[in-house]
Chain A
Amino acid sequence: MQDLIKKANKQALENLQKAQPTLIGIGVALKDIPNMDKKTILHAGPPITWDNMSGPLKGAVIGGLIYEGLASNEAEARTLAASGEIKFEPCHHHNTVGPMAGVVTSSMPVWIIENKAFGNLAYCTLNEGLGKVLRYGAFSEEVIERLNWIEKTLAPVLTAALKLRGDIDLKSMIAQVVQMGDEGHNRNKAGTSLFIREMAPYIVLVDFSNEEKADVLKFMHSNDHFFLNLTMPACKAAIDPNANIKYSTIVSIMARNGTEFGIKVSGLGDRWFTAPAEIIDGLFFPGYDKEDANPDIGDSVITETTGIGGFAMATAPAIVQFVGGTPQDAIQYTTSMYEITEEESNAYKMPTMNFRGTPTGIDIQKVIETQILPIINTGIAHKDPGVGQVGAGIVRPPMKCFEDALEAFVELMASEGMID
């Protein structure tokens, strides 16, 4: 049995290692995301019903409905959301990923990433910025206005600039940023800077007013996490070919919806294994504490799933200022991740780890054997909608997800007569 598992896992890793996530354009959710429609709202994490949604996710849904013109105020939005007319689906079921609440509605512009090694696509909205934004559950006029500006100005300018410039190789960009102090999840300053650098010469040339072009540049500059919405679909595109490899025990998805944490395992196909999401214990902004925190939320953990983010913490030692600990701790965390992963990335190398590649390909067997859970660097959302980020910290998935997955895997193998 182990031989079959090893072979399958090797395949999964091969797929990951040869991935070529590439930014090929910007689309619109309704047109480009598979099986999308006007009454569907995509969200982060495993499946969830309106009733079970936490504050930030509900707020984002409300904001999304108002933005789409399906409701004119909070009360209408709440009624509509609870009515059963709106379909709520995980982003992951549509080749999409979304940070924090991760709400995607039909009119939203989305990055289109192609994994050139396999031809599969992945999508993600453009990052709105920090503070009171939709993904933290805010739905004020300001939020809606910004979403409109993203739809009407940001996306068109960037689309045109991208057409001029051509495809952007995200793999090599991520390889650079992990040598510049980023880890691609909670620290994206270098990535955002590189992206602006790549795009600026072309933004300057497109057929929009100087004011609009300047606003676009200023907007990206003001948001250190702009690049996150590119690393996430890059990781998603890289790992999607692993969705269904028979006998593989490699994790293919990790995601949270603010209520539950869910994982999928390559050899178990589409099945979600969920458990209550953890409350993050980290560093809180002045005036906030653990009592204010929402449980873990967002698809951004797709970065850790493919070996960057918290797994690459050693390469982003400055992050400890936000999540707590020392740079030595950061190195120890990354070192411990090698114990639960199959290989080292052949592309993403970390100077502080003597240029070892990031720990890639989480094996559920190893997680259970060693009791070492994947380490995630994350922002902390306020549990009430619309307040925003209240801190950052380190969090782990619930062990139960892995235990249930292992049990299911063994049962499947037994039912197929592969083991006694």
Chain B
Amino acid sequence: MNKINELFSKDLKVINMGLESFHKDLKSQDVDSIQMNWRPTAGGNEKMMALLARLKTKK
């Protein structure tokens, strides 16, 4: 809860993950925002996603 009140006292610094129009609107108001070139992990290739995940498991 403290973190949220902290947020209220700071300048908003945004990362936009998705629709670029949201980022453009923020920039037009001089808000500090960056636009990600988001794509699904491994381009959504499920075989690759599974392989990557196996290397991330804790054993």
Pair B59/A368 contact, Cβ less than 8 Å? no
Q: How many residues of B contact A (CB 8 A)?
A: 14
Q: Does B15 contact A (CB under 8 A)?
A: no
Taking the closest CB of chain A, its distance from the CB of B58, in whole angstroms, is 8
Measured CA separation A2–B51 after assembly (Å): 13
Q: Does B1 contact A (CB under 8 A)?
A: no
B contact residues around A1 at 8 Å (CB): 54-59
- What is the 8 Å Cβ interface bit string for chain B, positions 44-59, against chain A (1 contact, 0 not)? 0100100110111111
Q: State which of A148-156, A321-329, A403-411 sits at the interface with chain B.
A: A403-411
> A406 contacts which of B41, B43, B52, B58 (Cβ < 8 Å)?
B52
A contact residues around B42 at 8 Å (CB): 368-369, 371
Pair A369/B41 contact, Cβ less than 8 Å? yes
Q: Interface size for chain A: under 10, 10 to 19, 20 to 34, or 35 or more residues? A: 10 to 19
Pair A410/B55 contact, Cβ less than 8 Å? yes
State the majority secondary structure of interface residues on A: helix
Pair A406/B48 contact, Cβ less than 8 Å? yes
Q: Does A211 contact B (CB under 8 A)?
A: no
Measured CA separation A406–B41 after assembly (Å): 14
A contact residues around B45 at 8 Å (CB): 403
Q: Does B13 contact A (CB under 8 A)?
A: no
Measured CA separation A126–B38 after assembly (Å): 45
Q: Does B10 contact A (CB under 8 A)?
A: no
Taking the closest CB of chain A, its distance from the CB of B37, in whole angstroms, is 9
Q: Does A419 contact B (CB under 8 A)?
A: yes
Measured CA separation A413–B52 after assembly (Å): 12
> B57 contacts which of A365, A406, A409, A420 (Cβ < 8 Å)?
A420
B contact residues around A419 at 8 Å (CB): 54-55, 57, 59
Q: Does B3 contact A (CB under 8 A)?
A: no
Query: In the complex, what residue of chain A is closest to B44 when comparing beta carbons?
Result: A371
B contact residues around A406 at 8 Å (CB): 48, 51-52
Measured CA separation A407–B52 after assembly (Å): 9
A contact residues around B57 at 8 Å (CB): 1, 419-420
Which B positions have Cβ atoms within 8 angstroms of A?
39, 41-43, 45, 48, 51-52, 54-59
A-B contact pairs, 6 of them (CB 8 A): A365-B55, A371-B42, A403-B48, A418-B59, A419-B57, A420-B54
Leading 9 A-B pairs by shortest Cβ distance: A371-B43, A410-B51, A368-B48, A368-B42, A406-B51, A419-B54, A1-B55, A410-B54, A369-B41
Q: A369-B41, A369-B42, A409-B55 are in contact. List 7 more A-B contacts (CB 8 A).
A: A1-B54, A365-B52, A368-B51, A368-B52, A403-B48, A410-B55, A414-B54
